[in-house]
Chain A
Amino acid sequence: MLHRILANVLQVLTVLVLSPLIGGVLNRLKEIVQAKRGPSVLQPYRDLWKLFHKDEVVSEDSSWIFRAAPYVVFIAPLFVTLLIPVLTAYPLFLAFMADMVGVGFILALGGFFAALAAVDPGNPYGPMGASRTRMVGFLAEPVFVIVFFTVSFVAGSTIPYVVQQQWVLSPASFLAPPHILLVAAFLMLILADAGRIPVDSPTGHFELAMIEESKALEYSGRGAALVKWGGHMKLMVLMCVFLNVLVTPWGLATVQRLRDTLLAIPLVALKILILILVLVVIESSLAKLRLFRITEFLGAAFITCVAAMISRVFIS
């Protein structure tokens, strides 16, 4: 009992504390690849620190939605952490409270409020970003469902922990075509959902070309910090689902011991680092797509996972 509570807290803290580091490492490595020096890997923490020490300016025309949205954006990925295997392979308290569809929809809840908050201040750029992020969001949704369907056809369940167990037990199917296609599709999905290149450029500073960023344009101080942190955590949560459930379901704590759970942290961090390297390659070698070419990107992801689903029938 006590241990599970501890594991839960540890899980949440890991995501909370380590998530900004992912952005920092990613940026630093990207800059190095591009022959620049780049900011310190701790820069995201400094940004958060700075924002928490600045005044907040709120638009006169905004309502409570604008003030509440950062909390929703911040909490949605945090809550997802309680549902997915981050450190432990055994299910924790809330593991059965929602499945992968639930995970998707909880993240969508954050997106929904962020979009509303973008419309709220009466700034002309906000709604544009809101409309575009929602567009990427709904185009990604069918991919998400097919990926999760293919996975759960295999596992007979949609609970992330159960799916993870399934993959651990059948390492042979790892190199089978459906699994590889699935991994590819999910990776494309992460790029789209977390607003990375080639779908969106997180470092862009031109309002008209922004997708994800323009939603948060109006935030400052505390609000901006929460929204930014929420974005970091969302990326980390998606990565955890990707790595711990789909790609490498190993390296998690299988026994209820504090030592194992603590040991899982560096292992998970290592897995994430490898994924970051892949992202660095992708982000450095591709350019951002034009807005209406995103359909083609996500269409490709969709076809990939449909191919995975169909090939599954022929393999088994």
Chain B
Amino acid sequence: MAIFVSSPLSACIALLAGWVLLGACGLLRPRSIRFAGRALFTVGALIGAALGALSAWSLWTGVTEQIVLPFGLPDLPFHLRLDTLASGFLLLLGTTSAGISLYSAGYFRQGEGAAPGLLCLQYHLFLASMGFVLIADDAYSFMVAWESMAISSYFLVTTQHRLEEIRRAGFLYLLIAHVGAISILLAFGVMQGGSWQFTFEAMRSAHLSPAWAAIAFLLALAGFGAKAGLVPLHIWLPEAHPAAPSPVSALMSGVMLKTAVYGIIRVTFDLLGAPVWWWGLVPLAAGLATAFYGAVFAAVQTDMKRLLAYSSIENMGLVFTGLGLAIVFFGTGMHLAAALALAATLYHSLNHAFMKSLLFLGTGSVLHATGERNLGRLGGLIHRMPWVAWLSLVGALAIAGLPPLNGFVSEWLLLQSFLFADQIPHAFVSMLIPMGAALVALAAALAGYVMVKFFGVIFLGQPRESALSRAHDCGRLERLGLTWLALGCVALGLAPVQVLAALNRVTATLTGASLAHQTAHWWLLAPVPTREVSYGPLVFLTASALVVALTVTIVRLVYHRRVRHGPAWDCGFGRLTARMQDTAEGFGQPIRNLFQSFFRIERELPTPFDRAPRYRIAITDRIWRSLYEPLGGIVQRLADAAAVLQQGRIAAYLLYSFVTLVVLLALALVL
């Protein structure tokens, strides 16, 4: 306990090392689901909760602490540092992973892909490497942690590596992760600014020319954007997320994507220090495009996990929108507005971690209960799986941005920070940026549409397949994990003042401006001291509970008629079957129609004379065709051209060495 107080960073390192150790324990009895699955994952959840508590405490006290560990390169040992930004994201990692680990303890079964012990190792390495990404304080340890995160998650994605499509998804993921990593590495290379010191401390004090600083920022944005799934680097997300087991999808979507947010905030506001306002326009535009793109694609998906993956893309778009706004405001000297936008960014990251993990885990339970991922074969599960349905509904309401849950608060804060746009001293920018708010609203409303579809098609209506009647609710540990995350969603929604006060510690150190700290009303969120805007969810909830109770009582008192149960209204047709219900495709049809130009649609329609009529529709990303396939072609051609050198004969290779030697000698002579 004492170490918590005296040195939170060492406690944090100990907890992360605990995760690594726990993972290694999994190898002791790799085949035992009871030991590696149930027991170790539960301990992992406890470590997560401890990490959450620790980082909450260090965030609250605002400690900054540095430690140099004696590993690493000879002249560059591992530098680690805990500051408010790192604490904020560690809090996200700890609290979310506690719920996910608890769920995982009940989730993994025998005979699903890799052995449970191996999964346990990869899973906890993944967690620990995410933690180390957040506390790394030099480029080397950051990249080591970043890469171990990518590789451990690659193995988790390809758990069921016997399936061809999963191997493909894994490869795509690894490829984009590495393209991104190269970009980040180059950004660090630029940021050391000629000092050849790769500690973050040196980067903070390095003086870059404006052009180089901009290049470093854009490289970092590309690198972290690849991890976050910004358009057009998003294509790995809808492939990798459905391929992974559900707890892993939850972890990737809920937590790993946030390390990218952490990275870009760290680089922009801390390492580069003084961002120029126009930099912000890039993440702003990219974020808005991503949010819109993700929402539109989510609406037409028929695979529940793909749908959620696209929804993650949308949410990351919103997060990057907030970040772009923060940079624009900060660069134009509007520090308070920058603090608000940054707080919205962080808040939304935290919210998304909880709600998306919750929904992904919900799909995991549905998948286990029914063996079905296709929305077209689900339905009516609310009767069979009441717990999962209830808790998923919380997640769906939260992600649709409806009050009084958490999604609303961060979207509200984001819109509020858009309201500062008219004070930007650049005429056209100040007129254009409010249009961005319209796009945010459109994306948020589309998210509501997507969630009606997601929840409605899976849990409501009649079961579309007879096999669904054998579905069962999730186990006790899974239920606990889901409840934890759902409670997080509720708490983040009901206590925005407290959450914002905590986030204020992060944003105040980064932007130098403090959001409203008047604690007079602990129940009324009024983030901007100069404006009359406020939101009081607790009062909202109490008042609406009161009104609901009143209405229900009155209606009960007034209404004395019977309630009969009967079949659904069929307009006199008389032969309705469950298959006649609207499908996921049907539900998304208006979107498909409105945004036709976004999709590449392949349709196979039956003719009237078909004996076995078949209707098939495939909706794919245009970007895949127009960007990635040509790019792949170019790489292939370059590789073919290079292959000419590969003769496969020793004599040829000897000749190459000889020629190289001669050329080098000649160069040495000339210079």
Contact = CB atoms under 8 A, between A and B. Distances in A.
Interface of A: 52-63, 65, 71, 74-75, 78-79, 82, 94, 96-99, 101-102, 105-106, 108-109, 111-112, 115-116, 119-128, 130-132, 134-135, 137-146, 149, 152-153, 156-159, 162, 207, 217-218, 221-222, 226, 291-292, 295, 302, 306, 309-310, 313
Interface string B553-568: 0010011011111111
A75 B547 contact: yes
A112 B564 contact: no
Contacts of A56: 561-564
Contacts of B535: 97-99, 102
B460 A119 contact: yes
Given A121-B568, A124-B580, A156-B532, A226 B543 contact: no
Given A55-B564, A79-B543, A131-B587, 4 more contacts: A120-B456, A121-B568, A128-B582, A138-B449
Contacts of A128: 582, 586
Contacts of A61: 380, 461-462, 568
B267 to A, nearest CB: 31
A53 B121 CA distance: 64
A98 B439 CA distance: 22
Given A122-B380, A144-B441, A158 B533 contact: yes
B298 to A, nearest CB: 12
B189 interface: no
A316 B448 CA distance: 37
Contacts of A120: 456, 460-461
A146 B437 contact: yes
B252 interface: no
A123 B437 contact: no
B418 interface: yes
Contact of A74 (B383, B551, B566): B551
B226 interface: no
A58 B564 contact: yes
B452 A115 contact: yes
Interface stretch (B20-28, B354-362, B588-596): B588-596
B445 to A, nearest CB: 3
B49 interface: no
B547 A79 contact: yes
Contacts of B403: 98, 102, 105-106, 109
A127 B375 CA distance: 14
A119 B457 contact: yes
A308 to B, nearest CB: 11
B431 interface: yes
Given A145-B415, A152-B419, A123 B586 contact: no
Interface stretch (B36-44, B306-314, B569-577): B569-577
A4 to B, nearest CB: 14
B448 A134 contact: yes
A101 B415 contact: yes
Given A75-B548, A122-B462, A58 B566 contact: yes
Given A116-B455, A131-B589, A159 B415 contact: no
Given A131-B590, A149-B437, A226-B555, A60 B412 contact: no
11 contacts: A52-B559, A58-B566, A60-B566, A71-B555, A97-B536, A112-B397, A130-B456, A131-B453, A217-B569, A221-B561, A226-B555
> Which of A101, A122, A221, A310 has the most chain B CB within a 10 Å cutoff?
A122
Contact of A96 (B382, B536, B552): B536
Contacts of A123: 568-570, 576, 581
A105 B402 CA distance: 6
Contacts, number: 250
Contact of A63 (B382, B400, B431): B382
Interface in B347-397: 379-380, 382-383, 389, 393, 397
Given A60-B567, A146-B437, A157-B532, A292 B442 contact: no
Nearest to A64: B382
> Which of A79, A105, A137 has the most chain B CB within a 10 Å cutoff?
A105
B540 interface: yes
Contact of B565 (A60, A106, A122, A135): A60
Contacts of A75: 544, 547-548, 551
4 A-B pairs with the lowest CB-CB distances in the bound complex, closest first: A127-B582, A138-B445, A119-B456, A142-B438
Contact of A116 (B441, B452, B524, B562): B452
B435 interface: yes
B438 A146 contact: yes
Nearest to B550: A75
Nearest to B530: A156
A124 B569 CA distance: 9
A131 B448 CA distance: 11
A97 B570 CA distance: 43
A112 B452 contact: yes
Contacts of A302: 438
A59 B566 contact: yes
Contacts of B594: 135, 292, 295
B626 interface: no
A164 to B, nearest CB: 12
A159 B380 contact: no
Nearest to A153: B422
Contacts of A156: 531-532
A222 B582 contact: no
Nearest to B521: A96
Contacts of A82: 543
